[in-house]
Structures are given as C-alpha cells and as structure tokens.
Structure 1
Amino acid sequence: MKVMQLLPELNSGGVERGTLEIAKALVTAGHQSLVVSNGGRMVHQLEAEGSQHLSLAIHRKSLASLWQIRPLRKLILQHQPDILHVRSRVPAWLTHFALRGIPAAQQPHLISTVHGFYSVNRYSAIMTQAEKVIAVSDSVVEYIHTHYPHCPAKNIVRIYRGIDPQAFPHNYQPSAQWLQKTFHDYPQLENRFLICLPGRITRLKGHETLIELVQALHKKYPQLHAVVVGGADPKKAAYLDEIEKKIASLGLSNDITFVGHRSDIREWLALSDVVLSLSSQAETFGRTALEALSLGTPVIGWKRGGVAEILSQLYPQGLIEVDDLDCMQMQLKWHIEQRQQVAPVQQFSLAQMCEQTLALYQRVVEQD
C-alpha cells in the first residue's frame, strides 16, 4: 500500500506523534509512507524512519490556504496513494477540494482521525465525512454520534491511541544521576510525598483544584508536595503569574513547585507518588495518565472522557466523580497513608494501535 497522511505541521503533540508512529509501522510492514505537512522539527525523525515528507503550507486557518488546493491535487496525482489519511481540519478541507478535481476512478480512499472534541460546526464536520472515521476513544465515538448523526455508525472505527510499554516500563526508576540533579535543583522535593499535575499551564488543566487540594491537606500531611510539570506559553504568562500569586497569598509557596516544560516526563511520572488528572474539560484520550499507570504510578482523575476509560480498565479506584473535591481529598489521604500498587498494563499498546490502523487501511483498499 501507499499511504499519504496529512496534518498541519510536525513540531510536537499527540497528532504529530501518532502520525510518526503509523508512518514507521507502514515502513516496517513494507508499505510506502508519505506525509504532507508544513514541516517542523520532527521531519528529520520521520525521514530517518523511512517515510517521505512532502512540504506544503496546509497549516493556516485562513482563506490564503485555498491557494494550496491545486498544489495538493498535483501531489496526489503525482504520487497516486491508495489512501489519504487526514488528521486535522484545514488539511481535511483542502483534501476535500483537491479531490473534487480528480475523476472518481482515480481518487484514493479517504480516512480521517477525530483526535479532539472540536467545536461543533460545519468547519469541524469535515472530519466526519470520510470513508472511514477513526475515533481515538469511546468518548469520541459518542461525540460523533451526538453531534454528527449524518455520519453512519458503520463508518466509525474506534482505535485507541497507544504507548510503547518498553518506553514506560512497569516499576521504572529514574537514574541516580537524574535524581541527584533533580534534588540539587529542587531540594524541597526530597523525601516528600509527591503529587504531580502534568500538562501545559492553562485554565483547563485544573491548577486551581490542585491548590485547593494542597491547602486542605498540607497541615495534616506536611510531607505532601505538589509538582506541576508543564510550561506556560507566552500567551499564558499572565495566568501563571496569577496562580503563583494565589499560591503565595495562601502561604503554600513551599508546598507547590513548578518545574516548567520538560522532555524527561517519564522520570517525573516515575518519581511521583500519585499523578493527578484534573482537567475541567474531558480529554479525548489521556495519554499522560496511561504513561503514568504503565510506569506503576497511581493516577487519580475526574470520571470523564478518555481518562475515565483508561482508569476504569486499569485503576478504577482512581476514578472520582467530576468536581467531587471531598472524594478527591479522601482518595489522596488513602494513597498518602497506604502506598497503592498498580498492576502491569497490558492494554492500550502502540503495537495494537498500529496493527488496527494498518488492518483498517488494508480492508479499505481490498474493497476495490
């Protein structure tokens, strides 16, 4: 097979990571892998793993992007892929218009992946208008059924995103050098019960909830310390300043540490005693929660979206009814007083995700 994936850019993020993972799986299985994007720092890895990158400015949410329809049509006709796999709304629209100028007999099969709970409108509807629509969790399947009833149920295929269990091995321990440097940089973390809130600094991630939890528990449990692992975009600098001032006003500056954006997230998740998922909006999947559980670190989170699906299968005691702060506190107390074990994770593997996606490609191509 020859598969062409389309996405805005290749810099960072879950969509980009998933694109590279499927590209690598295609090459490993002896297929041809093409990726169209505006480029980015992950292109080098993509090409090193055997895929071809085709650079096209399909990343801007503006009318100027319509100029890319003809060049995209030319690329499709030149490379003649069996499958076009669109992973974002602008590339999906451009592909839609590009295919209009190609005779039906020459058109490749079209597959989309709904990665997010997009705003519900005509612009987002394009993601549900492919031959097969991949949903990254049951929550996304429900979102499509609810908001886009025109999309036939038989066209929706749930394929969970996955992680490589070898990259997040059960009971993994950070190296002595890493621990030494971390405790040198953040001496306040040593010999503490660490609760970790991973993710970008935005209002959606639940930092205010974290502050409330620490405020409620720190007197009874002085060993408790919260670590926020994630950076603030320049646009969010004012919000970061706001929450840091709130922490200081409550006298909690010695109980909450911000370590910024990190590339060593595995080490932080493994160092933590508990990882929290406190987002005020449902997440489509919840990759970080899965990574933590794979390492053997307990996760406590709100019962919604993809995180709830992961927890219900892997660590149901970590599920808390949405916004039930009292129950969240009780669960944290239990974990502080009695260390909990997480069983080795067998589900949600990268191998399963790749296998199911390639099998879907094969089924679609064989329908011809």
Structure 2
Amino acid sequence: MPKQHSITRPVIVQILPALNRGGVERGTVEIAKAVIGRGYKAVVISNGGLLENQLTRMGASVHRLPVHSKNPFRWPFIRSKLSDILRAEGADIVHVRSRAPAWIALPVAARLSMATVSTIHSKFAPKNAIKHLYNRKMLKADAVIAISDFIKSIIAKHYAQHKSEEDVTVIHRGVDTVVFDPASVTQQRIIREAERLNLPEEGSVVMLPARPTSWKGHEVLIRAVAALNRPDVTLLLVGAGDGPPRFVSGLEQLARKTGLNGRLRIATGSNDMPAAFMLADVIAMPSTVPEPFGRVAVEAGAMGRPVVAFNHGGAVESVLDGKTGWLAKPNDVDDLTRALAAALDLSQTERARLAKRARAHIIKFFSKEKMCQKTMEIYDNLLQDKAG
C-alpha cells in the first residue's frame, strides 16, 4: 500500500531522451496522465518529439532540453538549464528513463534534495568496464524500477554490489486494454488495413510486427515458416519495410532461397496495430537475443492472438507456454516451426478458448492501469519520506 503524504500538489518530473514513438515514450505519456488524474502536476523534459503536443493537451508542462546528449563536455551547461527548470517547476520527484538523462539529472536532483526514480527499460548487461560504469548510474536513484523480472535478474547478476535485489521493483510495461480489444476494432478498420498490407483473401497469416533490426528474428522466422511447407500460410513482416533497401532485399533473397517468395509480405509500420493484429492467425516474436520486455506479446495477447516466441527474456513472463502461446527453444528453427504449426492447427473452439485466456492474463498482470498504479505507489512512498 502507498504511504500517505501531506504535500498539497506534488510535482513529478519525467526525463527521457526524446518523445517519439516507442514503449518508453508511450509509458511516459501514460504515467503523466495518471499523475494529472491524481491531481498532481506532471512535467516532462526531453529533446522534443511527436508526443509533445499530446502531453501539452492533457495538461502536462513540457520542456525541451538536450538531455539525450552523451557528450560529458555538454553536461555542465545542460545541468545548469535543468536546475533552473526543476527549481521553477518546484519539482518533488525526478524520474529518469534512460542512461544519458540519469547522468545529467541525478546529480542535479541530489543537489536540490529532490527524490529520484529510475526505470530501466533496455538490455542492461555490460559489455565492458566502461559500459558497466555508464549503466550503473541508473542505480543511483532512490527508487529503481525494472520493466521485467528478466531485467531485474541482470541487475542482480552484474550490479549486486551497487543495488540490492530487494531495492529493485518490477513494474511491467502496461498495454491499453481498451485500445487493444478485439471488440473495439471495426470491420472498416480491418478492411482498410488488409488493403494496405495486400494480404490474400484466403489462408492463414503469421505476423511479425517489429523494427527493421536483425536481432528481431526476421530471418529465422522466414526459415521456420518456409519449413512448415504450407502453401496457404502467408508471412507478414510489419515494420520491416521501414528498413534500408539492403535490409529489405536481404529478406526477399532469403525468401526466394527458401521457397517462400510468393508468400512473403514486407510492409511498413502500421498506424493501426489493433486492426493489423485482427488480420493475423499467429503473432511471432522470435527475437534472437532476449527482449527486455516484449511489448508485441502483451498487445497481441490483449487482442486474443496466440503468440509464438523464443523461451528467453521478457517473453517468458508474458506468454504462458501451451496456454496463451508457445515458447520455442531460443534460435532453434525446427522448434520454432513446431510451435508455429501448433498455433496454426488450433480449432476454432481451441482458438476461442486461448483468446479468452490470453486477454484475461494480460488484463490481470500487464494492463496500463496496473503499471500506473504501481508507479504512483512508488511516487507516494517517496513523497511521504520527503514530507517526513
């Protein structure tokens, strides 16, 4: 339970590199909305981006500052400007959401006697001593949030001498289960998205929604779908079309080599992912390195779609193997093929039962409301400690 505090209108400041599309950015907006809904003041500082106007419309105070900078020679100037903003806003809590902002903001907040929070979103395993030093700045905050048990385990393994496991709170990213709800997607939206994606009218669709990055598993998925040897199955790579020509042509060449050429669709990212999910029979998340969380799995689950992922990283927490999806041996094409086949072979009755289980699981453990509630509890506990 959160502690009670006596601060009349607390001011919560979130600091992140930029405000464009992404899980970090979306989470920042959702927390700002929850802060305002509680009657507190929300302040967001970044280097700018597409979501600034949305924050302003909801009543947040938005400031633009190059807090994304990794150049330590610029930090004194940025810290001076940040100090002015924090003083002017009357900040009570400073919440950093990335490493560069942590290096810039945490010393300023400490000097001003402000409570601090950090959220660790990314892969946190250090590649060398310099990276270890750079990463661990996030652990200097009064309260540390990890977005998954997987990230918490990395902190415990590599940074135990800097932050005890008990002092790290897991708060999973939340999905908007109103937006991501099959009942809320109109037939018109589904038709519009189907036309954009140029999907065949018959057959099954395996979808991978992901950035055009090699570790997201596009190639291993092409091999696995080709190994199914099912002419009625189309592989849809949403977001891969945003990649450079070399990336796209590499996928096309692999499809030709494996015999999947006529059944591969490479598309740009969607502005209506709920509608896109409705077009898929199976959602794949075959990331070849562990996902820190894996937003696709929870969004797909909220839409009642079976998810097939590799058995590592955040997917282990969001996908219930054999109940809401399948977890294949990491980077094993044969086992991925087996899992895809199991998902595609579901009867209509089995699919309906899985959809119900998957959505209930996401609502219970991975909703936006739960994420906001747990984060607000951390804020309230810090505010109580500050009020004395």
- Report the CA distance between 1:156 and its aligned residue: 0.9
Aligned-residue CA RMSD (Å): 2.0
Q: Is the 8 Å Cα contact of residues 241 and 266 (structure 2) preserved in structure 1?
A: no
Amino acid at match of 2:168: I
| 1:305 counterpart SS class | coil
Paired residue for 1:49, among 40, 58, 64? 58
- Report the CA distance between 1:232 and its aligned residue: 5.1
Counterpart residue number, 1:358: 376
CA separation of 1:202 and 1:176: change in aligned 2, threshold 3 A: same
Q: TM-score by structure 2 length?
A: 0.87
Counterpart residue number, 2:143: 132
| 2:261 counterpart SS class | coil
Answering whether residue 118 of structure 2 is matched by residue 112 of structure 1, we say yes
Question: How is 1:181-200 mapped onto 2 (pairs within 5 angstroms)?
Answer: 181-200=192-211
Amino acid at match of 1:303: N
Answering whether residue 33 of structure 2 is matched by residue 24 of structure 1, we say yes
Counterpart residue number, 2:334: 326
- Report the CA distance between 1:60 and its aligned residue: 2.1
Query: Can you give the 5+ residue segments of structure 2 that lack an aligned partner in the other structure?
Result: 1-9, 127-131
Offset from partner CA, 1:206-247 (integer Å, 9 cap, x none): 1111111122113xx21111100114556x432222221222
Counterpart residue number, 2:4: none
Answering whether residue 180 of structure 2 is matched by residue 168 of structure 1, we say yes
Identity of aligned residues (%): 31
Residues matched between the structures, number: 360
**Is 60-69 or 107-116 further displaced after alignment?**
60-69
Counterpart residue number, 1:76: 86
| 1:282 counterpart SS class | coil
Q: Is the 8 Å Cα contact of residues 172 and 270 (structure 1) preserved in structure 2?
A: no
Q: Is the 8 Å Cα contact of residues 242 and 267 (structure 2) preserved in structure 1?
A: no
**Structure-2 separation of matches of 1:217 and 1:172:** 31
- Report the CA distance between 1:305 and its aligned residue: 1.1
Answering whether residue 163 of structure 2 is matched by residue 157 of structure 1, we say no
Amino acid at match of 1:128: L
Amino acid at match of 2:178: Q
Query: Can you give the 5+ residue segments of structure 1 that lack an aligned partner in the other structure?
Result: none
**Structure-2 separation of matches of 1:187 and 1:45:** 32
**Is 171-180 or 49-58 further displaced after alignment?**
171-180
- Report the CA distance between 1:313 and its aligned residue: 8.0
- Report the CA distance between 1:183 and its aligned residue: 4.6
Offset from partner CA, 1:91-127 (integer Å, 9 cap, x none): 1101133246x3xxx4110110001113521111111
- Report the CA distance between 1:288 and its aligned residue: 1.1
- Report the CA distance between 1:78 and its aligned residue: 2.2
Answering whether residue 282 of structure 2 is matched by residue 264 of structure 1, we say no
**Structure-2 separation of matches of 1:265 and 1:41:** 18
Offset from partner CA, 1:163-219 (integer Å, 9 cap, x none): 1211111x447533344444545554211200001101111011111111122113x
- Report the CA distance between 1:353 and its aligned residue: 0.6
**Structure-2 separation of matches of 1:61 and 1:94:** 9
Counterpart residue number, 1:349: 367
Q: Is the 8 Å Cα contact of residues 155 and 165 (structure 2) preserved in structure 1?
A: no
Offset from partner CA, 1:289-345 (integer Å, 9 cap, x none): 111111111001111111110013894551222233323222222332333332232
Pick 1 or 2: higher relative contact order, CA cutoff 8 A, min separation 6. Answer: 2
Question: How is 1:257-336 mapped onto 2 (pairs within 5 angstroms)?
Answer: 257-312=265-320, 315=323, 317-336=325-344
| 1:254 counterpart SS class | helix
Q: Is the 8 Å Cα contact of residues 173 and 271 (structure 1) preserved in structure 2?
A: no
Amino acid at match of 2:368: L
**Structure-1 separation of matches of 2:23 and 2:90:** 27
**Structure-2 separation of matches of 1:82 and 1:173:** 38
